[in-house]
Amino acid sequence: MKFINKINMNCHLIWSIVILSMVCSAKASAQDPVLPATNLGMANVFDGMGGKPGFVYQGYVQVFQTRKVYGDQGQDTHSDLKINSIVQINQLLYQTPIKVFGGELAFMLMLPVVQINASNSGGPSPSVNSSVLGDVIQGTAVQWSGKKLFGKPFSHRAELTVALPVGSYDKKYNINASSHAYTIGASHAFTLMVNDKVSISSRNQFNYNTRVIGQKAKAGAFYNGNYALDYAVFPNLRVEAVGYLLAQLNQDSYDGNNNYYQQQFGIDDTRERVLGFGPGLAYFTKGGALIEAKAFFETAGKNRVIGYRPTVRIAIPLN
């Protein structure tokens, strides 16, 4: 089992796009890598919408608390390992008036700050780097607003992001705030206004990871998606049913060999998976700011810790 074989060995925390949230597992002596943490429920309501050209600040706070540890067959390992975190992300967006493919060119820069703690009442606890700077994320996007789909108002956005491994990393620690690897992501987000009260939003992203710098290990490619169905109880207040899915698409590799961990260590499947769902509220101020609060409960875990993920998002137009 991938996770069990990793306990008490080297491990690190990896940060990536719009996102960022905490997921970490212990690594085997073979350096079987964990997936980078990605956008799990950071943005949901009206995620595909864009405003007028100008700057927007978005801030996120997400807490993660471990509930269980799941193995490579999706089984509860009954491990006492706990890896908890709180991440605060600062994101600056600029939507330009420049037209590209019929939409507006936009840019994004994101800086995560994370505090992590780890414990294990059943054995040694992994060491944690106390430095808190995560990897910088840069994104380039095209935003299409005011479109129609099935005769309904439809807005959407395509984006390419790159996570730059410039955050806190020291190989003497088991857990670091930086991935020490590049992650390239391609995403599409949309919002469909079903009527004046109901909207559907989703963000779907595919990610490719490079090798860990100075090592031969590489985490597999993966998909992550956010989903939301909301209803306006008042003009400025919406209730949400929200969710996210992370699914690793191919096996982790070592020196280009995708079967290395199976052949050398008997790990049947190195792919990770998790599903999160929960309720949310979104409040829009008269000045155009958004405050979104959600609580996610994770299930269907595989090769990772699962738990609870309360999340708060604010978006403030700076024009």
Q: State how far the Cα of 101 lies from the Cα of 93, in Å rounded to an integer.
A: 19
- Three-class secondary structure of residue 6 per DSSP: helix
Please indicate whether residue 27 or residue 245 has the higher confidence score (pLDDT).
245
CATH number of the CATH domain containing 36: 2.40.160.40
CA angle 62, 65, 70 (to 5 degrees): 120
Q: What is the largest CA-CA distance in the chain?
A: 60
Burial class (CB in 10 A: 0-12, 13-18, 19+), 294: buried
Q: Which uninterrupted H or E stretch holds 48? A: none
46-74: b (≥16 Cβ within 10 Å) or e? bbbbbeeeeebebebebbbebebbbbbee
Residue whose tokens read 């599409």 = 188
**Where residue 9 falls among pLDDT bands split at 50, 70, 90?**
very low
Report CA-CA distances (Å) from 174 to 7, 123, 267, 303. Answer: 11, 15, 21, 17
Alpha-carbon distance 56 to 252, whole Å? Answer: 37
| Count of Cβ atoms closer than 10 Å to residue 117 Cβ | 12
Q: How confident is the model at residue 179 (pLDDT cuts 50, 70, 90)?
A: confident
Tokens of 122: 């059943």
**What is the model's pLDDT at position 32?**
66
Q: What is the pLDDT of residues 32-81, one digit of tens each?
A: 688 887 899 999 999 999 989 999 999 999 999 999 999 988 999 999 99
The model's pTM: 0.89
* Percent helix, percent strand, percent coil in the chain, to nearest 5: 5, 55, 40
- Phi and psi (nearest 5°) for 4? -60, -40
The residues near 314 (Cβ < 8 Å, ≥ 6 apart) are 58, 59, 60, 289, 290, 291, 292
Closest CA to 210 of 171, 180, 167: 180
The parent domain of residue 241 ranges over: 2-317
Report the pLDDT value the prediction gives residue 88, as an integer from 0 to 100.
Answer: 96
Query: Tell me: the pLDDT tens digits for 81-102?
Result: 999 999 999 999 999 999 999 9
pLDDT digits (tens, 9 = 90+) for 189-213: 999 999 999 999 999 999 999 999 9
- Residue 131: both structure tokens together: 């430095």
Burial class of residue 268 (count of CB atoms within 10 Å of its CB; 0-12, 13-18, 19+) = exposed
* Residue-level pLDDT at 76: 93
Other C-beta atoms closer than 10 Å to the C-beta of 277 total 18
Asked if pLDDT for residue 30 goes beyond 70, the answer is no
Query: How far apart are the C-alpha atoms of 238 and 308, rounded to whole Å?
Result: 22
CA distance 293 to 309: 11
Residue 173 has pLDDT above 90, yes or no: no
Burial class (CB in 10 A: 0-12, 13-18, 19+), 93: buried
Total domain count for the chain? Answer: 1
